[in-house]
Amino acid sequence: MQIAVRHIAEPCSVDSSMRRLVLAILLGFSSRALPAQVQPSAPVQFPNVTGRNLEGRTLRLPADFAGERTVVLVAFRQRQQREVDSWMPELNARRAADAGLAVYEIPTLSSGWTPLRGWIDGGMARGIKSQEVREVTVTLYIDKGPFKEALSIASESTIHLLLLDREGRVTFRTTGPATAEGIAALRRALGVPQ
């Protein structure tokens, strides 16, 4: 088996990230678990973007994130709201225990949808009863390519949970709905005793 893995990883045309991906697939990791386990070698910085929360306030991110540490849930499709919601009991508990932790939902749409922003954001705002949740739901209408590249997001098929420090550096990441493993990993990243 070692020879087979070594043989696959040696061709000159395969870069190191491809080698890691092939190795992860060979070892049986799911694509959902991979981002939490394979961290980028260089620090990833949340890019400077401007969005508007569902109360109509313009925010410049990451500068306007309110926390010393911030959990950002990046979603690309409406159906991913269930994945976002699956994290909320844990994130609300963490926020209640740590006044320096902020949580934001970031629906991310292509800039082509900007002309319909009022209709889209209005529909989301009407569906959210809590003013507190509307204040921390910041919709981005942007060129998604550079945004995803800056955050090392390869796929829009699931949500991306990012833990940022005060400077906007990504210190932890995972993807998809909350799982026992994902919650435990987030707690470790937050320094919560297990």
Full pLDDT tens readout for the chain, 194 residues: 333 332 223 333 333 333 333 223 223 333 333 344 445 557 899 999 999 999 999 999 999 999 999 999 999 999 999 999 999 999 999 999 999 999 999 999 999 999 999 999 999 999 999 999 999 999 999 999 999 999 999 999 999 999 999 999 999 999 999 999 999 999 999 999 87
Are the C-beta atoms of residues 94 and 101 closer than 8 Å to each other?
A: yes
For the chain, where do the domains classified as CATH 3.40.30.10 start and end? 42-190
What are the φ/ψ torsions at residue 76 (nearest 5 degrees)? -115, -15
Architecture, CATH, for domain 42-190: 3-Layer(aba) Sandwich (3.40)
Residue with tokens 């043989």: 7
Query: What pTM was estimated for this model as a whole?
Result: 0.79
Q: Which of 86, 104, 85, 105 is nearest to 178 (CA)?
A: 86
